[in-house]
Structure 1
Amino acid sequence: MAEVTPTPGPFFLILGIYFVLMACIGWYASRKTKSLRDYFVLNGKAGVIISGIAYATTQYSMGTFLGTPGMLYKMGYAGMGITIPGVAFAMIIPTVLIGRRLVTLGHERGFLTLSDYLSDRYEDHRMSGLLGLMMLCFLIPMMGAQIIGAGVIVNVFTGLPAYVGVIGMGAIVIIYCMSGGMRGAMMTDVLQGSLMFITAIVAFILTLHQGGGLSHLNSSLNEMNSAYMSFPGANGTMTWTYYVSNILLWSFFTMGQPQLFTKFFAMKDHKTMFRAVLLGTGGMMVTALLVLWSGVNGISLVPNLKNSDYIIPIILQRGLNPVIASVVIAGIVAAGMSTIDGLLITTTSAATRDVYQKYINPKASDDQVMKLSKIVTLIVGVVVIIFGCLKPGSIFIINTFAFSGMAIFVVPILFGMYWKGATFPAAVSSVIAGVLTLICCTKIAAMKALIHGFHAVVPGVAVAALVMVLVSLSTKGKRPSEETLARHMLTKQGRA
């Protein structure tokens, strides 16, 4: 690329040290991992710092540092309108609506996965099969989006083909997830979260320095195109309907994400949860605000960039000494790795515990499941690497679609916790109807026109909710027992 001067020596040296450190943490975690519950949810003993940072870093991804700044590079300040409301509520809403109950159920019932919760609430283990299928369809592409970002970084800093970064990152994440499970993932998240925070600050400061200050940058933007300074943005994307959709997607609908959902099972207690929310929310707001603002500032710093996903790496590469730039760029690598490890463990748990142990071999011991988990982690990891090498779309588009697919599960989760009438047939029907609506509103032009600019996830969730109500009313005989309802319902009698 003409915009950058590759510096492969310092880059590989620093990233090599970083990857070795991640692998060592995974090895250490494996020595401390003694049980299946420990492997999947840290035995429910995660403290404030680990819980807060792990939730935040799993929520953030390569999209935060590559895809989303790239989107704002084309749009301007309008894209930043979703940053504060979207990020501020990303942990708060799930905590208020479902968090207390999940922490309680995780300790009382030993839940390890989203499937454990849904199967228990609806008294049918077939929920595991549905959830497992959805994870394969949506979480693998979500992991693929992160690993594509590694290819972008390697290409910018070394000039080597993108697949080198894809394979390298994939191999390291597989190693430490196979070794330490959730303990390894959450321990590495602490280091990765710190790097992400530093990277966002450094990128923003560099844009101010390179652009002669914020006032000069804004004047340049206004001269280039005044639409960069207002809604709906230079490319007309951020209409009010799309704006509302994005706030809902990245805050309210995070409750349907299994990789975030299970973090509550790992938390030590309710006090830990609330303190972790304050820590994680503060860190996410600062990180998102600065890195996305850097994407906007980059419009005038690196004009006419063909691939906008490259904007943050280019800013860092241009403004820093090669060695320092390589250290800071590890923060972007950390963003991808911290998301992949959470997704990888979640997908593995669905395949081994939810499908194998509950259906294929109910007599399988926890030790057998742990051993199988390592094999499944390797297989899924290889599939993700292949996906990343094929690169079927942009980071932002892949990540958003995959996140939207899993968001549909917010319907059976919330209805299961707040309405006694919700039944198993309705839960299954709602997810299927919601996902089909999401796909149709994404791919079919006539359906896109009908939703008037809303993101496809909004009608997807709306249809899922409607189906949940209608099918539940027609299958009243399938309601769970009073004992199960008392355990799950957030009523006066059942409140956590």
Structure 2
Amino acid sequence: MSEAIKPSPGPFYAVLIFYLGIMAFIGWYASRKTKSLGDFFVLSGKAGVLVSGIAYFSTQFSMGTFLGTPGTIFGVGYAGMAISVPGAVFSMILPALLIGKKLVTLGHEYGFLTMADYLSDRYHSKSMSGVLGIMMLFFLIPMMGAQIIGAGVIVHVFTGLPEWVGVVGMGTIVILYCMTGGMKGAMMTDVIQGTLMFGTAIVTFIVSISMGGGFHNINNTLQGMNEAYLTFPGANGYMPWAYFVSNIVLWSFFTMGQPHLFTKFFTMKDHKTMFKAILLGTAGMFVSATLIEWAGVNGIASIQNIAKADQIVPMILQRGLNPFLASIFISGIVAAGMSTIDGILVTTTGAVTRDIYQKVINKKATDESVMKLSKVVTILIGIIVILFGVFQPGSIFEINLFAFSGMAIFVVPILFGMYWKKSTAPGAIAAVVVGVITLLCFTLIPSVKALAFGFHALFPATILGGITMVIVSSFTQAPPEETIRRHFDVFKKNNNAIGKKEAA
């Protein structure tokens, strides 16, 4: 155990057990209100402004935001805040403007429940369901694993127990309320978790300033330690301009490819709800990201001898507050992980049960049988995630970034599907395959990575994926005209209906 860690297990257990008990109760309550597959996966498209805005914000933010990113910034300085703060401003705005309004309309019109529902219908191809389902398992299980690793870090800092204890405990609770309540349970808990996350960001920031002796003293200390902490590109040259631009685009534009965020638009009641939710969610994301990441910078001046950089935010709360208050606000970080896991777990369960089983393996499966299977699959995926968290193949930030990047490739078939009528299923599948291979090559092979000129591997992956989509679609058969009309004429009908309503 690091000398910097001074466990306070009593207050921590009391607060955390109470908090997790509330989450479990919500899961039980939600299960009584979950009557259909639509309820389970997208809340039957009835989510209002408060639930939609906070749920999107809390699902987008994760252990990566509250542990992994401040931990990375702890070794970089102010320049590290560019990891997600600029992108956070646009992370709900861009998806809403480019695809959100269309998804709300399509979801209500055709009853879409998952990203694969949309893609397989748009491209008139059941193969899309299988491709997306496999991709989600490959990339989203690590993304959930990154969140659950954070629970282990928190439990270790506050109790001194091994990290696997927190991993297993958090994983079990999330499995229970997602298995019973589906998306209703996930979104109801997201409201509580999002509020906690917001409060935790504010309190951690204030405490970090107090511990460092104020802004002036913090900056003087940082300058004495390493002037690079105060300037771009930061310590060790971490944030050159190309990587800075990459992060802005990565955490805003590419959120459209994340299935757990994509499906949030299917849950929204209408377009007016969506735009109000954007304002609420954007404000929450910008304030929370700015303050929690800034706390990581402030922590450089006041905390040393830290065993693992991911511990910086828990250490600030532990050392700057009394044990009970620290435990309350540390629940906000637990909330960040849980809110991301629950959204991804329900979405990944949908990928297995609907996108692979119901659409590919057993096309005659009833919704009732899929509901029953979903509970079993939720348990199985949850167990795999727990094992991933126990073995910890990398840092929270590294794992989260890898998983996010993998799913981001689906931005290509999504945007082409919505804006180019001639895009085809073979083109979409080829674009995803080429994009993922390119992403892996530019990430894992140093000589290839150099060809990106400092930009994130997603840039060349997306460009090559887009080129592949155009070439393959130009030489393959487009979906039936009826399918194209279903996906493009529906917006004309919707606009006409709105116009008549306003005229009346």
TM-score in terms of structure 1 length: 0.98
1:146 matches 2:137: no
Query: In the TM superposition, what is the alpha-carbon distance from 1:458 to its structure 2 partner?
Result: 1.3
Look up the equivalent residue of 2:382 and give its one-letter code: G
Deviation per CA, 1:269-296: give whole Å up to 9, x if none. Answer: 0000000010000011111100000000
For 1:221, the equivalent position in structure 2 comes to 222
For 1:198, the equivalent position in structure 2 comes to 199
For 1:484, the equivalent position in structure 2 comes to 483
For 2:438, the equivalent position in structure 1 comes to 437
1:262 matches 2:289: no
5 Å matches for 1:22-421? 22-421=23-422
Query: In the TM superposition, what is the alpha-carbon distance from 1:83 to its structure 2 partner?
Result: 4.0
Distance across 2 between alignment mates of 1:491 and 1:426: 24
Distance across 2 between alignment mates of 1:264 and 1:335: 20
Distance across 2 between alignment mates of 1:487 and 1:303: 60
Look up the equivalent residue of 2:180 and give its one-letter code: S
Query: In the TM superposition, what is the alpha-carbon distance from 1:489 to its structure 2 partner?
Result: 3.6
**Length, aligned pairs only:** 494
Deviation per CA, 1:227-274: give whole Å up to 9, x if none. Answer: 111111112110111111111111000000000000000000000000
Query: In the TM superposition, what is the alpha-carbon distance from 1:181 to its structure 2 partner?
Result: 0.2
Deviation per CA, 1:364-391: give whole Å up to 9, x if none. Answer: 1111110100000000000000000000
1:74 alignment partner, SS class: coil
Seq. identity, %? 65
Deviation per CA, 1:321-370: give whole Å up to 9, x if none. Answer: 11111111000000000000000000000100111111222221111110
1:85–1:397: structure 2 CA closer, same or farther, 3 Å change rule? same
Look up the equivalent residue of 2:483 and give its one-letter code: T
Show structure 2 runs of 5+ residues with no match.
496-504
Distance across 1 between alignment mates of 2:385 and 2:481: 42
> Do the aligned partners of 1:429 and 1:468 also contact (CA within 8 Å) in 2?
yes
Deviation per CA, 1:130-174: give whole Å up to 9, x if none. Answer: 001100110000000000000000000000000000000000000
Show structure 1 runs of 5+ residues with no match.
none
> Do the aligned partners of 2:3 and 2:305 also contact (CA within 8 Å) in 1?
no
For 2:501, the equivalent position in structure 1 comes to none
> Do the aligned partners of 1:11 and 1:323 also contact (CA within 8 Å) in 2?
yes
Distance across 2 between alignment mates of 1:80 and 1:304: 22
1:489–1:446: structure 2 CA closer, same or farther, 3 Å change rule? farther
Look up the equivalent residue of 2:481 and give its one-letter code: E
Look up the equivalent residue of 2:166 and give its one-letter code: G
> Do the aligned partners of 2:409 and 2:435 also contact (CA within 8 Å) in 1?
yes
Distance across 2 between alignment mates of 1:421 and 1:161: 55
Distance across 2 between alignment mates of 1:132 and 1:359: 10
Deviation per CA, 1:13-44: give whole Å up to 9, x if none. Answer: 11111111100000000011110000100010
5 Å matches for 1:6-21? 6-21=7-22
TM-score in terms of structure 2 length: 0.96
Distance across 1 between alignment mates of 2:421 and 2:41: 29
Look up the equivalent residue of 2:319 and give its one-letter code: R
Distance across 2 between alignment mates of 1:104 and 1:481: 21
For 1:422, the equivalent position in structure 2 comes to 423
Look up the equivalent residue of 1:107 and give its one-letter code: H
1:235 alignment partner, SS class: helix
> Do the aligned partners of 1:181 and 1:345 also contact (CA within 8 Å) in 2?
yes
2:5 alignment partner, SS class: coil
> Do the aligned partners of 1:115 and 1:350 also contact (CA within 8 Å) in 2?
yes
Query: In the TM superposition, what is the alpha-carbon distance from 1:82 to its structure 2 partner?
Result: 4.5
Single out whichever of 65-74 and 304-313 deviates more from structure 2. Answer: 304-313
Distance across 2 between alignment mates of 1:230 and 1:151: 33
Single out whichever of 483-492 and 192-201 deviates more from structure 2. Answer: 483-492
> Do the aligned partners of 2:102 and 2:491 also contact (CA within 8 Å) in 1?
no
Single out whichever of 444-453 and 328-337 deviates more from structure 2. Answer: 444-453
Query: In the TM superposition, what is the alpha-carbon distance from 1:216 to its structure 2 partner?
Result: 1.2
Look up the equivalent residue of 1:233 and give its one-letter code: G
Deviation per CA, 1:103-123: give whole Å up to 9, x if none. Answer: 001000000000000001100
Distance across 2 between alignment mates of 1:149 and 1:482: 49
Query: In the TM superposition, what is the alpha-carbon distance from 1:85 to its structure 2 partner?
Result: 2.4
> Do the aligned partners of 1:101 and 1:488 also contact (CA within 8 Å) in 2?
no
2:196 alignment partner, SS class: helix
Look up the equivalent residue of 1:63 and give its one-letter code: G
> Do the aligned partners of 1:101 and 1:495 also contact (CA within 8 Å) in 2?
no
Distance across 2 between alignment mates of 1:375 and 1:113: 19
Distance across 2 between alignment mates of 1:391 and 1:492: 46
Distance across 2 between alignment mates of 1:385 and 1:79: 30
Single out whichever of 122-131 and 208-217 deviates more from structure 2. Answer: 208-217
Distance across 1 between alignment mates of 2:275 and 2:445: 42
> Do the aligned partners of 1:99 and 1:264 also contact (CA within 8 Å) in 2?
yes
Deviation per CA, 1:440-487: give whole Å up to 9, x if none. Answer: 111111111111211111111111111111111122xx1112332233
Tell me the C-alpha RMSD between the 2 structures. Answer: 1.3
1:75 alignment partner, SS class: coil
1:460–1:320: structure 2 CA closer, same or farther, 3 Å change rule? same
Query: In the TM superposition, what is the alpha-carbon distance from 1:490 to its structure 2 partner?
Result: 8.6
1:322–1:464: structure 2 CA closer, same or farther, 3 Å change rule? same
